[in-house]
Amino acid sequence: MKNQHISTIFAFFAAFAAFVSAPAQAQQGPRAEGLDFVVGAANAPVTIIEYASLTCPHCARFNAEVMPRLKEKYLESGKVRFVFRDFPLDRLALNAAMIARCSGPERFFTYLDVFFAEQANWTRGSAEQAMTALRRLARTGGMSEPAIDACLANVEIQNAVLTQAMTGEREHRVQATPTLVVNGQVQRGAPTFEELERILAPLVK
């Protein structure tokens, strides 16, 4: 039953990603831009960069409570371009970030959504137990065990994740997650949707 529940979550988010990625939404769909994974119109007046760790509870809450409303009101309307950057706080978060990155641009945000939604389950227990749970999630999302092994052994993927974290430290003085950068202005902590909307309102007029 647990795997069926997780499969349902993957199916829901994959369907959402497919909708956003439809031909008419090609300019807005999930995509890779250099080391970044991006969703939202390329010419949007506002760019939000989120630095997040997949083991961070505040990041999971932001993803659950704020992101759906942000997508509906600002991403789908072409007002906001959203950039996700990894800032792993521990080895487990680094491994999860690598797996999400290995899933490819079209499925990247689906993996993020599922990892955040299931965070309380797969981060429990010992490091070995947590990795077993993370691998199980990745398999449920369609990755084979050999593909997971190859991904976690890929130094280039690991370096891409760590480079994003170092960029955050250097360019935006990121020290904790989540940290948002809205049109170049750093916003530390996890704002509510209402707080974020007050920041966005004057920028999208």
- pLDDT tens across the length of the chain (205 residues): 555 555 555 554 454 444 444 443 556 789 999 999 999 999 999 999 999 999 999 999 999 999 999 999 999 999 999 999 999 999 999 999 999 999 999 999 999 999 999 999 999 999 999 999 999 999 999 999 999 999 999 999 999 999 999 999 999 999 999 999 999 999 998 999 999 999 999 998 7
Q: What is the CATH number of the domain that holds 122?
A: 3.40.30.10
Q: Quote the number of domains for the chain.
A: 1
Tell me the CA distances in angstroms from 170 to 93, 185, 187, one per residue in order: 20, 14, 16
- CB-based contacts of 169, cutoff 8 Å, min separation 6: 175
**Structural domain range at position 170:** 2-203
